[in-house]
């Protein structure tokens, strides 16, 4: 991964918790580290094959000088969002916002915040429940996912009732798929999913057995991951109609549904 740095850019801004900060303004210093998967310009020596530094500078300047919020943490997030949207080649940005004249009693050089953000990817998850109030379990899981910092553009498919796969002597499932954009990295997202499952009393005593909630990552953008703890795309997703039926409401997967188990509409949404 290659890195481009725009260091210590000075701007006059109005971000602050006090009225005088918003009115009078003060100095802000911003540094950016832009990460790109091999800068093509290294080989072509063409300006169009690298990041437009001037454009990134102007975007950062516009955000800092026009912001009137309270926290430099939020200002840093706005800058990260603006930079990542400005050039699709940027995979990750690290933003440092310094406030050398912060209204804090004491001797210091500056007060600063540093955040790192990845390019947002469209993620699709499969949700299933066949214990307790199945629909309530799915709704609770969706709300928990939607509330994760870094999740936006949340979309839901219809809910379907499906025959169980593997261990057939168990209640029918309710299944659906959800999609959203996020910069949460795949393994971090997996950890957060496990927390949500545990909060909803998910147990794993029986393989393919009954459960209050089951959440699987089906797609994470175009990423391919082959690890013991995580495989993306999810293995056998295309062989399970309880995945492909709701999935096609969110993503064109270009294939017919497998006829492995009966799937019937339970509740249409959207």
- Give pLDDT tens digits for 146-157: 999 999 999 999
Q: For residue 26, what are the β-bridge partners? A: 13
> Length of the chain, please?
270
* Cα 270 to Cα 102: distance, rounded to the nearest angstrom: 47
pLDDT at 239: 86
Give the residue from 13, 127, 24 showing the smallest Cα distance to 76: 13
- Active site residue ranges: 99
Q: How many CA atoms are closer than 13 Å to the CA of 253, on its beta-carbon side?
A: 21
Domains, the chain, in order of start with CATH, read 2-118 (3.30.1130.10), 121-267 (3.30.70.560)
* Cα 113 to Cα 10: distance, rounded to the nearest angstrom: 15
Question: 77: cis peptide before it, omega within 30°?
Answer: no
Prediction pTM value: 0.80
For tokens 């310009």, the residue is: 41
Question: 158: cis peptide before it, omega within 30°?
Answer: no
Bridging pattern class, strands 263-267 and 159-162: antiparallel
pLDDT at 209: 56
Q: Where are the beta strands (DSSP E) in 144-268?
A: 151-156, 159-162, 173-182, 214-220, 225-227, 230-232, 263-267
pLDDT at 182: 96
Stretches in the chain below the pLDDT threshold 70 = 166-169, 202-209, 255-261, 270
Q: How many CA atoms are closer than 13 Å to the CA of 205, on its beta-carbon side?
A: 5
Helices (H) and strands (E) in the chain, counts: 7, 12
């Amino acid at each position: 991964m290659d890195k481009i740095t725009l260091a210590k850019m000075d701007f006059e801004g109005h971000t602050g918790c006090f009225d005088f900060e918003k009115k009078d303004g003060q100095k802000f210093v911003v540094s950016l580290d832009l990460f790109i998967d091999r800068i093509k310009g290294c080989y072509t020596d063409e300006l169009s094959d690298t990041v437009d530094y001037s454009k990134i500078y102007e975007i950062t300047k516009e955000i800092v000088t026009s912001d009137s919020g309270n926290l430099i943490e939020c200002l840093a997030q706005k800058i990260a969002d603006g930079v990542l949207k400005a050039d699709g080649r940027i995979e990750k940005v690290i933003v440092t916002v310094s406030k050398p004249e912060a209204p804090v009693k004491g001797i210091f050089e500056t007060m600063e915040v540093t955040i790192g953000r990845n390019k947002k990817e469209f993620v699709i998850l499969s949700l299933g429940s066949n214990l307790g109030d199945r629909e309530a379990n799915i709704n609770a899981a969706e709300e928990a996912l939607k509330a994760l910092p870094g999740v936006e553009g949340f979309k839901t498919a219809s809910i379907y009732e499906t025959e169980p796969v593997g261990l057939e002597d168990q209640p029918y499932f309710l299944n659906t798929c959800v999609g959203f954009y996020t910069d949460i990295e795949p393994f971090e997202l997996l950890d957060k999913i496990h927390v949500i499952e545990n909060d909803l009393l998910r147990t794993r005593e029986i393989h393919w057995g009954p459960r209050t909630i089951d959440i699987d990552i089906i797609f994470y953008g175009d990423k391919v991951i082959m690890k013991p703890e995580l495989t993306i795309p999810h293995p056998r997703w295309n062989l399970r109609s309880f995945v492909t039926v709701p999935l096609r409401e969110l993503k064109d997967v270009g294939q017919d549904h497998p006829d492995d188990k009966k799937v019937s509409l339970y509740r249409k949404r959207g």
